[in-house]
Amino acid sequence: MSLASVRKNKKVTHQVFTQIINALKKGEFKPGDRLPGARELADKMQVGISSVREALKMLESLGAVESRQGEGTFICNTLREGAANAFEIQLALLPLTAEYLVEFRVIFETAYTRLAIKHATSADLANIEAAVISLEEKVKKSPDAFIEAEDELAFHHAVLCCTHNPYIIKTGEVALDLFFDVIHERLEPLVVSEAAKDHRDIYNAICQKDYELMDKVLNKCFSWWGNRFKE
């Protein structure tokens, strides 16, 4: 284990926090592992036990670890629901310029959708189609309504999952949440009937492994967003 004594001229709690995160990055701690006790960590890094406990609380608030009564502290297997998402916070602290977010979406969505075509399974396709059908049912009830953010997110999350790449899925989830939060504040979204058609076309392109159709549909969507910001 690479944990070492910390320098006292810097915030001790932050150094303890950083060392544990770095050990996790290096694979020295893995999801599901039980961390050494607070006293053992304090002795290893030559710091007070209060600094270790504070660092562990910070990690727990981020959903990186969980404390189990009578068992100890464990590395989480996944981000706990309701936990603060450091990545989401970092993105939110960047300039929330809708144009930047659209540019990011053009690059990122094009890439992950092409990967979805490559890796989608029959189960993945069924999940995407379910999201498409759900939106089409809403069209029947109210064709002139605007699409809701949760409908967009459900569809795009289903496409993200087709990549079977946890890095892409997690980045996409955070980016899409932020994108739709900002966009829906600034612009009226697509009419639900138009969105349903685009989603159906994307689904068909993935089913048929048709990259040309995919590019055509995505370019249409991106052009719509770009033109709205120029108005």
pLDDT tens digits, 82-131: 555 677 777 777 776 777 877 888 899 999 999 999 999 999 999 999 99
pLDDT of residue 213: 92
| Topology annotation, domain 86-230 | Four Helix Bundle (Hemerythrin (Met), subunit A) (1.20.120)
Say what the pTM is: 0.72
Where are the CATH 1.20.120.530 domain residues in the chain?
86-230
pLDDT of residue 1: 58
Where are the CATH 1.10.10.10 domain residues in the chain?
12-75
| Average of per-residue pLDDT across 10-37 | 87
| Average of per-residue pLDDT across 152-167 | 93
Residue 74 sits at φ, ψ, to 5 deg, of: -125, 145
Counting Cβ atoms within 10 Å, is residue 32 exposed (0-12), middle (13-18) or buried (19+)? exposed
Pick one of 1.10.10.10, 3.40.50.300, 3.30.70.360, 1.20.930.40 as the CATH number of 12-75. 1.10.10.10
Contact assessment for residue 226 and residue 100, using Cβ atoms and an 8 Å cutoff: no
Contact assessment for residue 138 and residue 192, using Cβ atoms and an 8 Å cutoff: yes
What are the b/e assignments for 197-222, b being 16+ CB within 10 Å?
Answer: bbbbbbbebbeeeeeebbeebbeebb
pLDDT of residue 173: 87
